Amino acid sequence: MDELVKMVSQETGLPEAQARQAAEVVMKFLKEKLPAPIASQVDNFLENEGTADVAQDLLKKGMGLFNKK
């Protein structure tokens, strides 16, 4: 989760505390929307090494949704 928070902070310019809140909101949203077997793995996914690239890709895609006008 720390890598995701750092990434959110770098990409958005938010202070770390706000970036952590944003990441937690996104994680909660994902857990509510994903099928239960996948949702239960969200925390494990973020804590394992080697997920930073995938998380970064997801973050960039997600931020693209907010930047569209």
Q: Which domain holds residue 21?
A: 2-67
Tell me how far the alpha carbon of residue 40 is from its chain's centroid: 15
Please tell me the predicted confidence (pLDDT) of residue 51: 59
d(CA 4, CA 25): 12
28 has pLDDT over 80: yes
Please tell me the predicted confidence (pLDDT) of residue 42: 76
**Residue 31: pLDDT band by 50, 70, 90 thresholds?**
confident
DSSP state of 12: H
Q: What share of the chain is helix, strand, coil (3-state, %, to 5)?
A: 80, 0, 20
Condensed to tens digits (0 to 9), the pLDDT of residues 32-69 reads 888 887 777 777 777 665 556 666 666 666 656 555 54
d(CA 31, CA 28): 5
How many domains would you assign to the chain? 1
Comparing 8 with 68, the larger pLDDT belongs to 8
Q: How far apart are the first and last CA of the chain?
A: 29
